[in-house]
Amino acid sequence: MPPSHPTDEDRPLAPETRLLHTGYDPRAYHGFVNPPVVHASTVLFNDAAAHVANAQKYTYGRTGTPTIDALELALAELEGAATVRLAPSGLAAVSLALMSCLSAGDHLLVTDSIYAPTRRLCDTVLKRFGVETTYYDPEVDADGLAALFRPNTRAVMLEAPGTATFEMQDVPALSAVARARGAVVLMDNTWATPLFFRPLEHGVDLSIQAATKYISGHSDVLIGTVAASERAAHDLTAMHRNLGLHVGPDDIYLAWRGLKTMAVRLARHQESGLTVARWLAGRPEVTRVRHPALPEDPGYAIWKRDFTGASGLFGADFAPVSDAALRRFLDTVTLFGMGYSWGGFESLVIKARPEEARTAVPWRGTGPLMRFHIGLEDPGDLIADLERGFAAMAASDPDAE
Ligand SMILES: Cc1ncc(COP(=O)(O)O)c(C=O)c1O
């Protein structure tokens, strides 16, 4: 059991403090500050009575170890969840969550801004198992979402902001529509982490994290988590058990370790991200920055109302530019790597392709949409790197604005 810390109603512990002191009690394991990394399949019963009654805290490596418990309990506390289950990747966590609440014949509503492999999962595996998916405008209001409901609509999936396009969603309003119709609400909350947004407090039932990103924070592990409300917990636990999902103890430990420094890392990602985003917004090569924590962003009001912070991932629409000039930009910057992940210590930039995915509302961008992840480097160095990139882009494409 985690230690209990004295709090009073006037001064509950801040989430930054709680995440350092939940999940595991050092007194339970000889005073070691971190939990043991238990490699296990076989667990022996103490005696025949325990065996016959199957009554022992741990009985098999797949169904629980002190390492699994530590991360699950810490995240349950942070998410305000009835239970948390671990999955071998963020995408596996999405699959687990969706499969826990859907059956053949069900209808699913998914935001058009969803992480692309989640869309592929819906369009292939779920379709094959008899679940039909309708994609909706990410900026739909409550009435618009209600109009899409069918008698068999069983679940609604949210993601805010969208991974590549950064639209915000009114999570409480959309969740209320779904709940009133008996549907389960799922949300991919990887961008904010449970430190900056707690989905279960806003009507969501299944809150998903690609812990690969900010929770782990060092680009060296894949892991996913699903946190469930009371009403979704039983089905989540059953599906997790039935699928036989398991995460190796070393990977769980890396996520646990990352969690301990997540608050300070996120503060830096937020600050540097806003610095670079504001700088980009002032550049002639950029027509629009997509970052919900900038007051000019259409999602700002919702972000300000519901979220307590912003991470380091945002988008920038470049003015129309030739492919060759864009390649020059990408090949000139050196501190920004080109890579699909994010949430680690390093800065990244990629060209997003929302126009290839959208089915509910066609994507309307002015030019290439670039997705930036601002890492832990000095923001002045990052801006100087981008300046060099823009100079090379202009030299290669002198007519571009
Ligand atoms: C928003 C979002 N959800 C889920 C995932 C999937 O995580 P993983 O790569 O660990 O499967 C990603 C990965 O990029 C992501 O960006």
Taken in order of first residue, the domains within the chain and their CATH numbers are 260-396 (3.90.1150.10)
β-bridge mates for residue 286, sequence order: 318
Q: What is the pLDDT of residue 8?
A: 58
Which pairing describes strands 369-373 and 313-318: parallel, antiparallel, or unpaired? antiparallel
CB atoms within 10 A of CB 323: 10
- Residue 351 CA to ligand 1 center (angstroms) comes to 17
Pocket test for ligand 1, best of 209, 213, 340, 372 (most atoms within 8 A of CB): 213
8 A C-beta contact, residue 138 and residue 111? yes
Substitution candidate for ligand 1 out of 212, 226, 348 with most atoms within 8 A of CB: 212
Q: Can you give the pLDDT at residue 330?
A: 98
**Predicted confidence band of residue 7 (pLDDT cuts 50, 70, 90):** low
Distance in Å, CA 390 to ligand 1 centroid: 29
As a whole number, mean pLDDT of residues 201-205 equals 98
Residue pLDDT, tens place only, 11-47: 889 999 998 999 999 999 999 999 999 999 999 999 9
For atom 7 of ligand 1, the residue with the nearest CA is 90
Alpha carbon of 173 to ligand 1 centroid (Å) = 25
Please provide the average confidence, as pLDDT, over all residues in the chain. 95
Q: Is the pLDDT of residue 351 over 60?
A: yes
pLDDT tens sequence across 52-80: 999 999 999 999 999 999 999 999 999 99
Does ligand 1 lie within 6 Å of residue 90's CB atom?
A: yes
Pairing mode, strands 369-373 and 153-159: unpaired
- Is 115 close to ligand 1, i.e. is its CB under 6 Å away? yes
Whole-angstrom CA distances from 229 to 116, 202, 205 are 26, 11, 5
Q: Which residues are catalytic?
A: 62, 115, 188, 213
pLDDT given at position 364: 85
Q: Ligand 1 within 6 A of 186 CB?
A: no
Q: What is the widest separation between alpha-carbon atoms in the chain?
A: 82
pLDDT class of 9 with cuts at 50, 70, 90: low
Task: Give the tokens for residue 50.
Answer: 């325990």
Task: State the average pLDDT over residues 367-382.
Answer: 97
Q: Whose CA is nearest to atom 13 of ligand 1?
A: 341
Q: Which atom of ligand 1 is nearest to the CA of 342?
A: 14
Q: Which of 120, 188, 179, 121 is closest to 154 using CA atoms?
A: 179
Q: How far apart are alpha carbons 399 and 318 in whole angstroms?
A: 14
To test the pocket of ligand 1, the residue of 118, 159, 163, 186 to mutate (highest count of ligand atoms within 8 Å of its CB) is 163
What is the distance in A from the centroid of ligand 1 to the CA of 285?
A: 29
Would the CB of 126 count as within 6 Å of ligand 1? no
pLDDT at site 365 = 83
Give the separation between CA 344 and CA 64, rounded to whole angstroms.
Answer: 28
- The 10s digit of each residue's pLDDT in 290-312 is 999 999 999 999 999 999 999 99
Contact 259, 127 (CB under 8 A): no
Query: How far is the C-alpha of 183 from the C-alpha of 152, rounded, in Å?
Result: 9
* Per-residue pLDDT at 11: 84
Q: Which of 12-16, 165-169, 254-258, 270-274 has the lowest mean pLDDT?
A: 12-16
190 Cβ inside 6 Å of ligand 1: yes
Question: Which tens digit of pLDDT belongs to each residue from 309-343?
Answer: 999 999 999 999 999 999 999 999 999 999 999 99
User: Is 232 within 8 Å of 100 (Cβ atoms)?
Assistant: yes
pLDDT digits (tens, 9 = 90+) for 225-253: 999 999 999 999 999 999 999 999 999 99
**Distance in Å, CA 90 to ligand 1 centroid:** 5
Sheet of strand 83-87, all strands in order from the earlier edge strand to the far edge: 83-87, 224-228, 206-210, 184-188, 153-159, 107-111, 132-136
Q: How far apart are CA 290 and CA 352, in angstroms?
A: 12
For 125-138, write each residue's pLDDT tens digit.
999 999 999 999 99
pLDDT at 399 over 90: no
CA 210 to centroid of ligand 1, rounded, Å: 5
pLDDT at position 1 = 47
